[in-house]
Chain A
Amino acid sequence: MSEVLLEARRIGKRFGGVQALKDVSLTIKRGEIYGLIGPNGAGKTTLFNVFTGLYPRDSGEVLFAGSPLSLASPHSVAAAGIARTFQNIRLFGNMTAQENVMVGRHVRTRAGVFGAILRTRAERAEEAGIRRRAAELLHYVGIADRADDLARHLSYGDQRRLEIARALATDPKLLALDEPAAGMNATETAALRCLIEGLRKDGLTVLLIEHDVKLVMGLCDRVAVLDYGEKIAEDAPDAVRANPKVIVAYLGTDH
């Protein structure tokens, strides 16, 4: 088993006249929390969407767990072991919290139409397993008491947690979080930080896009900085903070 979980080589993505990503290469090692920061519009979410198959990339390749991700559809990326959350939370609002997590188990279960109609023994066992795992995950992220509430009636922080639980339900190797602390107050952010640290302790690799610099610097093992679609730095948090290029990108040059 190699140490590198995800390797992106010279990823390029263009939207019409805008070069959103230009030759971005990066490697994420197993078990680390890898931060991705950059000013607004730097291409962070675009890179995310390329990794998770929502956008087809124009050039470059992605190796995940040693094998190349083809220009794959999102569901096969999820099957390969990358799970994600969204910057603007995307839950199944009219399903309960528990059902949301149960949907996440879809990719790891097999029952089809006939199994469902005939209620075969295998289908019932699988269904019980799905239910059990969903309950465990809700407990894990700390919202077990909201299991039967509709997702859209949860508080903002709980919705974030639910999205993470749903992502975890796919048994990912890499969990990609797109600005999980956006809009959270200090208490919620602290709780989120505990949750992410717990994930690392349990052996998960995390890719984190975040604007909250304190959170990124405190949590991440390594940080990459994007600016205008290019990677301008990749290093340990302290080194990145001292990097003159990064300071220029964030604060502008001194004319």
Chain B
Amino acid sequence: MKTTRSGVSEKANACESRRYAVAKSHRERVGLVLVAVALMAFVLASAGTAWVRITNFAVLFVLLSLGLNIVVGFAGLLDLGYIAFYAVGAYVYALLASPHFGLHLPFWIILPIGAAVACLAGIVLGAPTLRLRGDYLAIVTLGFGEIVRIFMNNLSSPVNLTNGPKGINRIDPFQIGPLKFSASDTFGSLIFSGPIKYYYFLLLVLLAVIVINRRLQDSRIGRAWVAIREDEIAAKAGGINTRNIKLLAFAMGASFGGIAGGMFAAIQGFVSPESFILNESIMVLAMVVLGGMGNIWGVIAGAALLSFVPELLRYTVEPAQRALFGKLLVDPEVLRMLVFGLALVLTMRFRPAGLWPETRHRRELNEGRV
């Protein structure tokens, strides 16, 4: 009896120390990644400011995907109109910081307002769709996304609220005290251009969103979301107020979309309904699904990949053709979408759970080997 007990405790000790070692190396790895990501702006800048800009938009899409992942990945509610919340956030920023209404509020006031308005929009969308699932929910959310876009398009008369299809121009960039995000600053030999400043701001927001996502996932609320995804009736009978918890998923997802939208408006300096078409909703959903629904890191990888690959193709397809054939045979834009679509089909054929699936799914795939 005694020997077994000490044996067990030894095993537990070994386990404990291994866990500590894992945690330590994990922390080192996270630190390395952070340093690399922080320095990346300058590497990119040396390749041209355009690449920093592209990266910034990629980060925006990562934020959107993380928001949608709460709704689709955690709670299992298929949302095809997610871009509407991005639109809401963008328009809130545009209206409160542009000559359109002559309002120029600072960004740190507008971003929370944008998040709150988007959150409200999420609840408005969520409330009537609570009884719907799967295909039916997808159709309703698709309709919601279109309604928001069409509103933006038509709310120019009798009161000119959104300036219609012409969009809103000359939106204020971020400004912290004397630090303007629109101009370049030099510190010693380092040049901080506008996009680089936005890059760092976006990184901070991204870091916060990742932490929030991780913590939600491991919480009472996160478990309730997954329970609803797995079996709604059992979740209900187990004491989960599925109505509120689903609304919460919509509201949280929408808030992230709203924040991303506000930053989009500031970076772009211009918003119009055209930026919020159905295609964008589908793109964000593709990022979530391709990366691996439910796994935060997979979703980030999916969003980064789907943002960068088309841009890389844009910059390589034309020169490659000229080098090979001496002339342009296929329009880069056409080829780009072709390659893109093919990549999606192949991924879904060979990695149906996504490139980097949630641990639960991965464990399930590996089970045969153990």
Contact = CB atoms under 8 A, between A and B. Distances in A.
A and B: partners? yes
Nearest to B226: A95
A74 B231 CA distance: 14
B234 interface: yes
A78 interface: yes
Interface string A154-171: 000000000000110010
A117 B252 CA distance: 12
Nearest to B363: A150
A173 to B, nearest CB: 13
Contacts of A90: 231, 233-234, 237
A242 interface: no
Contacts of A99: 223, 226
Contacts of B230: 91-95
A109 interface: yes
Given A78-B239, A95-B227, A117 B215 contact: yes
Most buried by A among B215, B216, B219, B252: B219
Interface in B232-281: 233-242, 248, 252
B123 interface: no
A126 to B, nearest CB: 8
Given A75-B241, A91-B234, A116-B215, A103 B223 contact: yes
A30 to B, nearest CB: 21
Given A106-B224, A111-B219, A111-B220, A74 B361 contact: no
B212 interface: yes
A126 B220 CA distance: 9
A182 interface: no
Contacts, number: 106
A54 interface: yes
B360 to A, nearest CB: 5
A134 to B, nearest CB: 11
A107 B240 CA distance: 6
A150 B358 CA distance: 13
B367 interface: yes
B219 A123 contact: yes
A92 B231 contact: yes
Q: Chain B at the A interface: mostly helix, strand, loop or mixed?
A: helix
A4 B208 CA distance: 53
A117 B212 contact: yes
Contacts of B173: none
A109 B220 contact: yes
B221 interface: yes
B302 interface: no
Interface residues of A, number: 41
B222 interface: yes
B238 A103 contact: yes
B331 interface: no
B112 to A, nearest CB: 14
B220 A127 contact: yes
A73 interface: yes
A104 interface: yes
A111 B245 CA distance: 13
A110 to B, nearest CB: 8
Interface string B189-227: 000000000000000000000001001101111111011
Contacts of B234: 86, 90-92
A224 interface: no
B219 A116 contact: yes
B220 A130 contact: yes
A120 to B, nearest CB: 11
A220 to B, nearest CB: 23
A119 interface: yes
B246 to A, nearest CB: 12
Contacts of B239: 74-75, 78-79, 83, 104, 106-108, 170
Contacts of A218: none
Contacts of A170: 238-239
Contacts of A94: 226, 230, 360-361, 364
A139 B235 CA distance: 22
A84 B227 CA distance: 16
Given A94-B230, A170-B238, 9 more contacts: A78-B238, A92-B234, A93-B231, A94-B361, A95-B360, A102-B223, A107-B239, A127-B219, A127-B220
28 contacts: A54-B237, A73-B236, A74-B239, A78-B237, A79-B239, A90-B234, A91-B230, A91-B234, A92-B230, A94-B230, A94-B360, A94-B361, A95-B227, A103-B238, A104-B239, A106-B239, A107-B238, A111-B220, A112-B221, A113-B221, A115-B219, A116-B216, A117-B216, A123-B219, A126-B220, A150-B360, A166-B238, A170-B238
Interface of A: 52, 54, 73-75, 78-79, 83-84, 86, 90-95, 99, 102-109, 111-113, 115-117, 119, 123, 126-127, 130, 150, 153, 166-167, 170
Of all A-B residue pairs in the complex, the 9 with the closest CB atoms, nearest first, are A107-B239, A78-B239, A116-B219, A92-B230, A90-B234, A74-B236, A103-B227, A75-B241, A94-B360
